[in-house]
Amino acid sequence: MTISGFFSSELKSVGEAAEPARAVVFVQGLHKWYGMFESLRGVDLEVTRGEVVVILGPDGAGKTTLMEILGGVRTPSSGVVKVFGEDPSCAGEAWHARTGTVLQMWRENSGWRVRDLLEYCAARYASIRTPGCPQPRPVGDVLELVRMTGSAVKRLGALHDGQRRRFDIAFSLITRPEILLLDEPTKDLGPAARGEFHEVIRYLATGEGMTIILTTRDLAEAQRIGDRVAVLMQGRLVTQCAPAEAWMRYPGTPCDFRDLLGHNWKEQPRWRS
């Protein structure tokens, strides 16, 4: 469940499962058009339970669009997208409880204190949850999990970027999700804040067995925390491999590959003919 979507969530009907038995995420032939521009061009992706999959690519590759579709924020133009066997764009409340979505940095409600906002959200979720949705995770447990107990009385506007990203994760954990979708979670973070974030992700993956999909353009980050890397270029997944092999699948040196990821992709426009 996204933070912004939480405050205006509506109950929806639950779709029928159609994914492979072991796949938590199943994507086949995914295309997304914005007017005449094609952002995603035939993406295929499967993620099994407990995997940490890193979507690696430069700015403009389509990473955010892919994550928004997986999180039910955007509707695909064509193709099949299933998360827990359901189409995210029309999934019900039980599906949203199983899915934690953290998109780009969210800056609203800066006057709230950390604990107060989490308790409010937990209470509201408890009041609207349907049979089959788990009870909210205790706020104290969430704060301890993301190492924010000492920041519980801070106002959101006073948090540094690393703390704010941990708060975003804390919010997403209230509903006890089985999968986390994280869009460029360490973008613009310094080394210390980035390290703090990586520790939280490692614990959620190893200690909680959570399935995690995150996007980045940082090859070192992908190698540090991913079980598998999927390289997205110009709207296509060009390779999926072990993290250590990512640069070897690119026709150039490791420096060439890092340079590509570190700069906006100077692509030819992908327009409808």
Domain boundaries, the chain: 15-106+178-262
pLDDT in tens, 185-222: 888 788 888 888 888 888 899 988 999 999 998 888 99
Note the residue count of the chain: 273
Q: pLDDT under 50 in the chain at which residues? A: 4, 6-19, 263-271, 273
Give the residues across from 98 on adjacent strands.
none
What pLDDT, on a 0 to 100 scale, did the predictor assign at position 260?
59
Written as six digits, the tokens of 230 are: 């999927």
pTM score, whole prediction: 0.81
What pLDDT, on a 0 to 100 scale, did the predictor assign at position 105?
55
Written as six digits, the tokens of 1 are: 């469940």
Written as six digits, the tokens of 29 are: 């032939």
Written as six digits, the tokens of 261 are: 């990821």
- Asked if 177 and 188 count as a contact pair (C-beta separation under 8 A), the reply is no
What pLDDT, on a 0 to 100 scale, did the predictor assign at position 146?
87
What pLDDT, on a 0 to 100 scale, did the predictor assign at position 106?
62
What pLDDT, on a 0 to 100 scale, did the predictor assign at position 254?
58
Measure the CA–CA gap between 143 and 153, rounded to whole angstroms.
Answer: 11
Pairing between strand 179-182 and 228-233? unpaired
Q: What is the CA radius of gyration of the chain?
A: 18
- DSSP for 170-208, please give it: HHHHTT--SEEEESSTTTT--HHHHHHHHHHHHHHHHTS
CATH number corresponding to 15-106+178-262: 3.40.50.300
Pick the closest to residue 5 from 113, 96, 69, 88 (CA basis).
96
